[in-house]
Structure 1
């Protein structure tokens, strides 16, 4: 899943960084999302080896996380042509500004199914239903997205740890199950990816996106998700002097899978070296990334 996130970063990369690396996707949402030569994007999105990460936890600001989830969903649907299931408690009112400037085709948006479970029980039931739907659905989803995991937890840390483990295990098992179904139907199919966002009560430090204190729920989630993508607000003098609405540091790092969780995915564990990006959000809400 980190490969799709990285593709989002590259698609909306600053012109300066694009000029440094001619192999990345051009900085144009239109050229990236409209039909045409999408070989560059597909080479990033389609796995070339077993190092591709199938699950990632997006940690940080809820509104920015949702925008990144929507960008990932649209990219997967429009460029790969795969089905996406997007779980969220709150109605999606509009697309991120970066997509509004170049709206994807209605046909590609139809590949994204939005579901609105209100409670943890609703979410568990709907995720479990993805197993059953494969008996009748000709095209299983290849990307599962869950927006704002913290909203499905009740505030009791002891109970929330158990709920987080239960939900994560079910999501991981469902992703593995759908990967098996996809491979049966087409051996060359990419795995079913999983991405979820979570807003921790514990703030992140600037260096490396590592938590300054232990969040017991986050510790549980890290057992199941292969990668963590941490959003950290840059409040430095340089950021303020740049005249930007907001400047964020984005850290990609491996979290590791326990011996108990997702045995089929342990072999796909990515390298532990963190990857850093910088996200700038202009006053109109549009996003631009560059490599740190």
Structure 2
């Protein structure tokens, strides 16, 4: 499963849920694409970066087109023990175009970015923004060139992660492997349980080929959220080939501890909690 995301969910698990040990196993390390509404997916990405830096002590590179001046107050509520030293492990980079993103990802191979220690987590916020900006139209207006661009970015991210994993292993740092998490908001409504689209999204099809786990955020617009005093309620579904491979490598007892479906509870004060389903 996407281990960093699972670590976030377990770390911020609601008090009513049975507690699970918040650990990351090298056997479950997996890169993932996070699919959902951009404001919520960005909050989850920031939580992933902060959790990786503070709980695992690893370096994180966070790519985004939008400048992040400060962490949202809700994040400080979710991670009250966050220290300045942990934040220093997160490097924010702001490429404006897909060409700049490619250049900055490629530069992670350079010695100045691998010393003293390379990042163990690479995050790309809003992949669709880079693809959209490559021609200035809606992603619904599909062009094969943009699918090739999505494949190019994804392949470079995977190649970079493999290279950095090799560097981390050579140094026996215990901070590897290097993972990748990208977020993508589809113009096409996604299905729920399967995480697949009722109408095929060519960009998601491309991303799925490179990132073996898809994590889909689907908002519950029923009465359950209001009845529970929540501001928002989101369902989170894991799917993809990485899930199948991970579960087949585990015994039946371990499988029970790896929830493939979660709920994200957002309270009126901004506090976020996760609950396994």
- Which bracket does the TM-score occupy, shorter chain normalised? 0.7 to 0.9
- How far apart are 1:240 and its partner, in Å? 3.6
Taking structure 2 as the reference length, the TM-score comes to: 0.86
Are 1:122 and 2:100 counterparts? Answer: yes
Q: In structure 1, the residue corresponding to 2:199 is in which secondary structure?
A: coil
Taking a change above 3 Å as real, the CA distance of residues 188 and 103 of structure 1, as seen in their structure-2 partners, is: closer
Query: Corresponding residue for 2:7?
Result: 7
- How far apart are 1:96 and its partner, in Å? 3.6
Query: Corresponding residue for 1:81?
Result: 57
Q: Distance in 2 between matches of 1:127 and 1:4?
A: 20
What is the CA deviation profile of residues 171-208 of structure 1, one whole-angstrom value per residue up to 9, with x for unaligned ones?
00000000001001107443001101000111123333
Question: Larger deviation: 213-222 or 93-102?
Answer: 93-102
Counterpart of 1:55 (choices 5, 9, 31) is 31
Query: Corresponding residue for 1:95?
Result: 71
Query: Corresponding residue for 1:152?
Result: 130
Are 1:183 and 2:169 counterparts? Answer: yes
C-alpha contact (below 8 Å) 1:226/1:270 kept by paired residues: no
C-alpha contact (below 8 Å) 1:157/1:217 kept by paired residues: no
Taking structure 1 as the reference length, the TM-score comes to: 0.82
Instruction: Give the gaps of 5 or more residues in structure 2.
Output: 249-254
C-alpha contact (below 8 Å) 1:226/1:269 kept by paired residues: no
- How far apart are 1:135 and its partner, in Å? 7.4
Instruction: Give the gaps of 5 or more residues in structure 1.
Output: 25-40, 258-267
CA RMSD of aligned residues (A): 2.2
Q: In structure 2, the residue corresponding to 1:150 is in which secondary structure?
A: helix
What is the CA deviation profile of residues 249-288 of structure 1, one whole-angstrom value per residue up to 9, with x for unaligned ones?
000122459xxxxxxxxxx943389700011111122111
Aligned residues: 258
